[in-house]
Chain A
Amino acid sequence: MRTIMMKELADHFGSARFLILASVVFMVSLLGIHLAGQGVRELLAERGGGSLEGRSFLMLFTAPGALMSLSAFMALFGPMVGLVLGFDAINRERSQGTLSKILSQPVFRDEVILGKYLASLATIAILLASLGLILVGLGLMGVGLVPTADEALRLLAWWVLSVVYVGFWLGLGLLLSIVFRSVATSALASAALWILLSFFVPVLGQAAASALVPMEDPQRPRAEELAAYGKVSRTIALASPPALYSQASSILLDPTHRGGEQALRLSTMSRLDQFLLNRFQGVLSVNQSLILAAPDLMALLALYAATFLLSYLAFVRQEVRSA
């Protein structure tokens, strides 16, 4: 397995696709942090550092800037990274004629797929870690903010979350590369799945919620109706990894964020209450945020394990014959 993993790792880092992927991701992130940095600087100038104590650095990652926040960017482009690294892992070996060669060596099939998987996962982890560190460095220099220990911990947790998230897409890509014999088909299928899971499932959740929970007066919904509506749409959104990831990352990166319940509470409160809540809400500790993010993380891990298990089973049972 080590041999396969080392070879795959070397392949990844030497490949043109990794270079393109990394440079695209880096460029967009740099732009993102630049815009977010401007926003944060203005905010700091406006409100003074005191009111944002303990979370100003993290705002570099969550402030929307002109385009989208860095965490939203990860939710959108993370899948691309995972799928691009995984979508042709097995079927390219097959079309190259090297699959039967590897499998006729004294290695278990598990080792082949596991070696490939771990190598790609390591690539992702290294890519995201270096990206994160560069962004932190830019934040230090550009905005002049220093992360507190708390913030550093949150960033670390976010990195783990991001690796799991991209790892899920990697597993999906791997599964497609096993199921489809042609590289072109699996590339198209991964693009389709990305769009489906990222955009349609959340919309589907809202549609299902409005069908299941009819509101008497949509202009002034009652609290119970809103609660039921939120529950249904959130439950369906659980099937959408980007939704899970966005929710978990906003909890992890924003100490004031309290997950799905917060949105509900806000929507049933008067404007003054909302304002007061936002103004005087306490900051959660890292522990508390982790606990809040745990359900999302668990759901993500479960999806991740399921895709990996499926690809594993599919690969172990597959016929070797290329024809």
Chain B
Amino acid sequence: MDCVVETFGLTKRYGRETVVDGLDLAIGAGEIFGLLGPNGAGKTTTLLMLLGLSEPSSGRSRVLGHDPVREPLAVKSQVGYMAENMGVYADLTARQNLLFLAGLNGIEKPAVDECLELVGLASVADRRAGTFSRGMRQRLGLAEVLIKNPRLAFLDEPTLGLDPDGIATMLELIERLPREKGLTIVLSSHLLHLVSRVAGRVGILDRGRLLALGTVAGLAGECGAAEDLEAIYRHFLKGTGEAAA
């Protein structure tokens, strides 16, 4: 398997609190990988470290063959990141928002229309982003990831706060991208049934530690539960709960 993301004992501490604890991961090209876990499990911190936005306390990682700590720009130019609660410039139109992002990436002729078309915002391209609904804003965020032609995309809680229709549209988009754009996607979420719909493999994270890693079907076999991510998830989380107690 051609690895685009690898981590070796990746650890992040804030003071005495360990947020990510010795994470070992390998994510292959063209995968949709789901990073699962409750709030505060260390999902966002992991993504930030992989982007070079946060420095690991120990351990190391390689993203597309680069070390995010040493070569953050090389990583950032090929990786799209959509933050949880990501914002857009409310005073700019959707098109201007995209053009600004393209400018930051030094892209000469950005495919703005194509990206807006893809996420279904072509008809509102010249409306101010401040007037957008949450779902539209989120899709604009996805377009901002796509405008830089990334090889890898980190989507942090991409469905957070969306209504069922919005969630369906977002997931459909996410599913199409690896096929159409050859993109690898890492998405984090605490909403398991959603992730299980699109993700090939998942990693379950709790209190910074990786509890389980594998395909949804494989994990189901491991714990003897039905092929239902919810049940698998509970099974693994319960394990740590008892260990902690």
Contact = CB atoms under 8 A, between A and B. Distances in A.
Given A98-B88, A101-B86, A105-B101, A321 B54 contact: yes
Contact of A100 (B73, B83, B101): B83
A320 B89 contact: no
A14 B106 CA distance: 24
Interface range for A: 20 to 34
Interface-central residue, A3, A100, A319, A322, by most chain B CB under 10 Å: A100
Given A103-B53, A106-B73, A319-B54, A98 B87 contact: yes
A2 B89 CA distance: 18
A134 B3 CA distance: 64
Interface range for B: 20 to 34
B74 to A, nearest CB: 8
A104 B105 contact: no
Interface-central residue, B77, B100, B105, by most chain A CB under 10 Å: B100
Given A7-B100, A320-B48, A105 B105 contact: yes
B148 A96 contact: no
A18 B91 CA distance: 15
Contacts of B53: 100, 103-104, 320
B104 A106 contact: yes
A227 interface: no
A106 B74 CA distance: 7
A170 B55 CA distance: 30
Contacts of A97: 83, 85-87
Interface-central residue, A3, A14, A105, by most chain B CB under 10 Å: A105
B91 A322 contact: no
A96 to B, nearest CB: 4
Interface in B96-113: 100-101, 103-106
Nearest to A323: B44
Contacts of A107: 73, 104
Contacts of B51: 104
A7 B83 CA distance: 21
Interface of B: 44-45, 48, 51, 53-54, 73-74, 76-77, 79-81, 83, 85-91, 100-101, 103-106, 141, 144, 148
Interface of A: 2-4, 6-7, 11, 14-15, 96-98, 100-108, 319-322
